Structure 1
């Protein structure tokens, strides 16, 4: 598989000319969009505003991102694909890139990677060439096209090998936020990316298998394939924390998608200000799915039996609906299994209808306006307030956590007395505003809010680092895609919360998506072979059912384990950081949270500029000090790992500690240096 560099006898100049022409065509497409005059097109100002917004979004989407290659591959077909398949293109050569670009005649110069005709770029092989004669990959340096590499898929004389340009792209030093992987997607990743919108997909992915990038590319693909549908219903990417969202936020714009909302689970359930924190025991009980039934009981416990008849006075007439009839209406609404608030809104209309029946029997001819007026009558309102009072979700949870008697009543047969005591506040709060709500409390309020009125469902939700969610958090996410689909991404071995999930089947059931397809990614592209093999020694202790990940990377990576006397630990860590800074790319110094103050002081004393997670690396500052608890989902070219024993000891139990260490060990792309004074965990010795 030859890789060609520049000389006058090869086609590189022609490819560069096509790149220049494609960039000019994209600029022309943007100029055309900017020149659109919509003054006389729309009937009213509302339509004009909407159309103007769409034009502005189109102009923004047509930006040529500096340093982002416009195309990264070329497909030469043996036969011309059908015109529908090739977006109206004729001929047999197609350039594959991040977005569609056409010339002045409308002929495609670059095909969007998501189009059907692009699929063989990711899927074709010697065994199944998919009608390709040649697949060409392009290499870029600083935004300039500098090399290409050809695979002749139908040539029996050419061996199938790993692409050198593909490897170089994977290993390219990382400075700044997460990159898209659109040029390096592998067949098993592509299958997940292009899976239909109808079903939920759960991706169990070992470190470095690209599961986060696969999830983001899947959103981009679905928006391409089902744009109108998802424009109406909406999409959402949910990440574990702000640092992580900041790290991934540039991926979708690079793929041409600017309008995807990103949030944490805490953002979704932000009904109250979170100012408090639970201990692990309380958070675990509050996160248990059984709390959903406790809350359901608590909400519906407000419905009371009517004691008196409802007497409606209209003019000189009095209309009486007896208590037993109101009770029948209430019972019928309870049987209907609708939201508490919807049933409460229906009750006055039902009582009013009973009055109208009496009016008709008396010879009157009331219409809908009369029914609405009766429903608003003070006597009807008083009955509704008494029988079906309004429920404020936050006040309900406030009462549940502050009133031992009310909690015991609602949790009887569900939570043990010890569990009830665990979640009861030691000092009940006086009001919703003064309460020191925890993150788990906010999820309970969200559950109660959904019992009162239905949560809006989106068309597609991507949930990353899903293994760390509690059952109640899964339910909160599931409500956001109850009528849509989801892509669930995670790794059981990286679960580091006391309530982290043990099986995806269990998690999917809480999410409301039982029976969803579970795909496993075990082929690593990011973590060097030696590093993933070393970290995988922990799997029997932390996730014995998972397959060990392998790496396609030929490079073993820089890998060193250094034991030093305790007094020299900080100095040895600083020396390892200096060694890493002598190389190209980003460096993450990962340490137990308790070790951060000492390391920050040592870094300052050494005069080394240091960033916090989420801050962008630059030529001036490439070293990030990362608390072990925030390392998940991040990646660095080189990692210096400080004192593994301290990371393990920083967690409430050994299994969680080893899982946290597994996460930290698997953050590097090119090299790992472990520096320790205390003994290593048994499996890593």
Structure 2
């Protein structure tokens, strides 16, 4: 492997300075991209479509295409090059060299100047090795500084196999300072990551990955790949990225647009189930029971309890004749619909048609000629409508859950054999609530309402869903997500060691079962690229105490001096002062700084930062202009990353959780957010598990 700086001078097939040749190709590619954009902008859409609706749709498509062709000057147009070995079918003259980038760019005659990283011809850039070169002779990586191409690095895959060495440009790209939102990893995707990214649309994939293994980036790049490979299908069915909180979504929201994908929706689970306003919060024990999958059976029973077996016949009057459907026949119809286990609303819509059909049988037996119009008219008959309303009344999901949580007798009737008496008392509200608006709904309540709504009417299914930080979801939340991809597939991302909710996932097999994807393939990423080896080794001391048996992440980055532990004598004021000093020292370095602390410590630290004249940001609001320092409550640290992290008093982080195991997992998350350096500032003893 050879690296070349700007002053390199080597022979090339077309000129003596290969770096200048690559710069020329970059300039030509940017000019070609501008031409592609201008061609779209110059299109005249007048009189192209038959009506204004089609014209508006076509206009929107053109606007989206223009956005896709934007030249982002701070983002390299290409980051690699592949030189394929010549074959009888492929010679140097007709194209054996491909530049790999974030989007496709072609010249005036349609020949590719940059190939999309998702194209099949680009795959060897990520997977080819000297053992398996995949017909590639040379792989070239490019280095950029401020958007300018400044270096390249060659790897000749036809050379003899030797001990693998990490690419210096690859290492530099991974370690490049992180200021602002999360960026894509398209230039640094590793072979094991690429296999997950390019896996097919039809199957669900679950990725277990420790800190720094790139599981979030893999999930986002998988969406981008699937949209490339199955664009028409996913354009019809839709895609969705689900994150743990709004701060996390703000942090990752620029990754897909940077890859040219502008239409992917992002949401939290709370967003998905937002049928009522959430104003309350459950105690942990109540939230655990409400999140238990057994609540689905309680809700199913409660919904079906609204059906009443008919006791009276139905008399339908049409003109001068009357048609009578006896109660026993109505009962047969109702029981048949119940036996089919249809959704409540679908069965309610079918009932009048079934009654009307019974009437039509009698009409035809009497010699009348009937068709579908007659059946529809009978189904709308007042007597039939009244019977349906009495037998199969409409159900409001929110009112149903309201009654379950307010009415002890109603809950007991439908939770018998499912929840014991103590569990029923735990989920019941202290005082009955009479209206949906007056209720102080919790997040867990909203999930129950969503479940009830699906029992009444089927939830719309998307083509693909990415679920990140999945280890923190309850079984009922998994069901809520699963309803959004019943006819599609999912990418599930998480780390069992980072589960910090009382209902955190115990195993992926159990979680995938609740999601409705029991046949999903579980992949494990164990190679870490973000967290330095010294830091991840320190944090991994906690694993045997919180997640026994889980594989430790093996970091490929050795960074001496990346971990520093400072014990501060004195009281809380001295600790705060030492933390602020550590932040000031970190600001001397280039890149982002995250000050992570227990939630209870945030007010004191924010006041101290302001007093010291250090501007700071909230998680998810990071920009390159206002500040490089973010004050992060430990409860929001998951999924975020910073070049340098200052961790305030680990013992306080652990003590801020309801139990020690959850506290250790919260600490594990906080310890593993750093890319370049971690400074731990504490008073007293550190948690014994770190010893």
1:666 aligns with 672
Structure 1 stretch 446-455 or stretch 45-54: which is displaced more? 45-54
2:375 aligns with one of 353, 371, 375:
371
1:635 aligns with 641
User: Helix, strand or coil: the match of 1:189?
Assistant: helix
Cα distance in 2 for partners of 1:663, 1:157 equals 39
Q: CA deviation at 1:552?
A: 1.1
Instruction: Give yes or no for the alignment of 1:358 onto 2:352.
Output: no
Q: In structure 2, do the counterparts of structure 1 residues 557 and 197 end up closer, same or farther at CA, with 3 Å as the change threshold?
A: farther
Cα distance in 1 for partners of 2:490, 2:620 equals 26
Cα distance in 1 for partners of 2:561, 2:461 equals 45
- For the 8 Å contact 2:131–2:161, the answer to whether it is kept is no
- TM-score, length-normalised on structure 2? 0.97
Cα distance in 2 for partners of 1:186, 1:664 equals 25
Instruction: Give yes or no for the alignment of 1:605 onto 2:611.
Output: yes
Q: Deviations over 1:222-250 (max 9, x none)?
A: 00000001000000000000000000000
1:622 aligns with 628
User: Helix, strand or coil: the match of 2:632?
Assistant: strand
Q: CA deviation at 1:46?
A: 2.0
Q: CA deviation at 1:80?
A: 5.4
Cα distance in 1 for partners of 2:200, 2:330 equals 49
2:458 aligns with 454
2:413 aligns with 409
- For the 8 Å contact 1:98–1:255, the answer to whether it is kept is yes
Cα distance in 1 for partners of 2:161, 2:543 equals 41
1:679 aligns with 685
- For the 8 Å contact 1:76–1:93, the answer to whether it is kept is yes
User: Helix, strand or coil: the match of 1:43?
Assistant: coil
1:68 aligns with one of 67, 72, 75:
75
Q: In structure 2, do the counterparts of structure 1 residues 397 and 134 end up closer, same or farther at CA, with 3 Å as the change threshold?
A: same
- TM-score, length-normalised on structure 1? 0.98
- For the 8 Å contact 1:586–1:617, the answer to whether it is kept is no
User: Helix, strand or coil: the match of 1:58?
Assistant: helix
Cα distance in 1 for partners of 2:294, 2:101 equals 49
Cα distance in 1 for partners of 2:593, 2:353 equals 65
2:30 aligns with one of 11, 23, 35:
23
Which consecutive unaligned segments of at least 5 residues does structure 1 have? none
Q: CA deviation at 1:429?
A: 1.4
Q: In structure 2, do the counterparts of structure 1 residues 262 and 82 end up closer, same or farther at CA, with 3 Å as the change threshold?
A: farther
Q: Deviations over 1:285-322 (max 9, x none)?
A: 00000000000000001111101000011111111000
- For the 8 Å contact 1:528–1:557, the answer to whether it is kept is no
1:589 aligns with one of 582, 585, 595:
595
Q: CA deviation at 1:158?
A: 6.5
- For the 8 Å contact 1:180–1:254, the answer to whether it is kept is yes
Q: Deviations over 1:609-643 (max 9, x none)?
A: 11111112325411111000000000000000000
1:114 aligns with one of 115, 118, 132:
118
Cα distance in 2 for partners of 1:100, 1:81 equals 26
- For the 8 Å contact 1:391–1:452, the answer to whether it is kept is yes
Q: Deviations over 1:381-420 (max 9, x none)?
A: 1110111110010000000000000000000000010000
Superposed, 1:98-137 pairs within 5 Å as: 98-137=102-141
2:2 aligns with 2
Q: CA deviation at 1:159?
A: 5.3
Cα distance in 2 for partners of 1:147, 1:81 equals 33
Cα distance in 2 for partners of 1:557, 1:622 equals 22
Which consecutive unaligned segments of at least 5 residues does structure 2 have? 10-16
Q: CA deviation at 1:187?
A: 0.2
Q: CA deviation at 1:37?
A: 1.7
Cα distance in 1 for partners of 2:94, 2:238 equals 34
Number of equivalent positions: 682
2:43 aligns with 36
1:58 aligns with 65
User: Helix, strand or coil: the match of 2:274?
Assistant: coil
Q: What is the root-mean-square deviation of aligned Cα atoms in Å?
A: 1.4
Q: In structure 2, do the counterparts of structure 1 residues 617 and 60 end up closer, same or farther at CA, with 3 Å as the change threshold?
A: closer
Cα distance in 1 for partners of 2:124, 2:30 equals 24
1:166 aligns with 170
2:489 aligns with 485
1:650 aligns with 656
1:194 aligns with one of 174, 177, 198:
198
Cα distance in 1 for partners of 2:650, 2:185 equals 31
